[in-house]
Structure 1
Amino acid sequence: GEGGKPAFSLRACAVPRCRPGCGARLISACAARHLPLPVRHAAGSMGHQQLYWSHPRKFGQGSRSCRVCSNRHGLIRKYGLNMCRQCFRQYAKDIGFVKLD
């Protein structure tokens, strides 16, 4: 700076609620001492983002869901309906299914 003044404050640690005896001259230096560093994982390790939804779902019950409510249980696949039985009962008349007896 001009006039022989330093560009930073020479006060001791200016971070509120800092540990006594910190001795840091800059706020950023104090923050570097007291704030936790972000956790870095090794490049080869499998994290949550790599594992989430990574299992193949091309076939089986986990690959199919109801076209109406996305439920996976009680699925009626016949005639390409792909609806759970509850939704089928709800929409059977609209689709054109009629009880004979």
Structure 2
Amino acid sequence: MSRKIKLGILGGGGDSLIGVLHRVAANMFDKYEIVGGVFNPNFKENIEFAKTLGINSSRIYEDYESLIEEESKLNSSEKMQVISVLTPNFLHYPMAKKL
């Protein structure tokens, strides 16, 4: 059996339609594992939402800069391999550029 691709998500928390669609799509063929991200700009809500997905709170970050910094410290076998940017459109480029 092949390993799942480690997926991080920026945005798309709570009942965000785009977040729901991406999470469903990521699970459709059992190829991705959502391992962390920044789902909400409110850190407390971010942590609570991650719990509903069964994601370890150590992989939930306050902002995408923290995500980049902390993920870069992990072994390549542990770090996120792909990141979905589900934030409002005007934030896509600045975030993707830093990734």
- Higher-strand-fraction structure: 2
Q: TM-score, normalised by structure 2?
A: 0.18
Report which structure shows greater RCO (CA 8 Å, sep ≥6): 2
Q: TM-score, normalised by structure 1?
A: 0.17
Select the structure of larger CA radius of gyration.
1
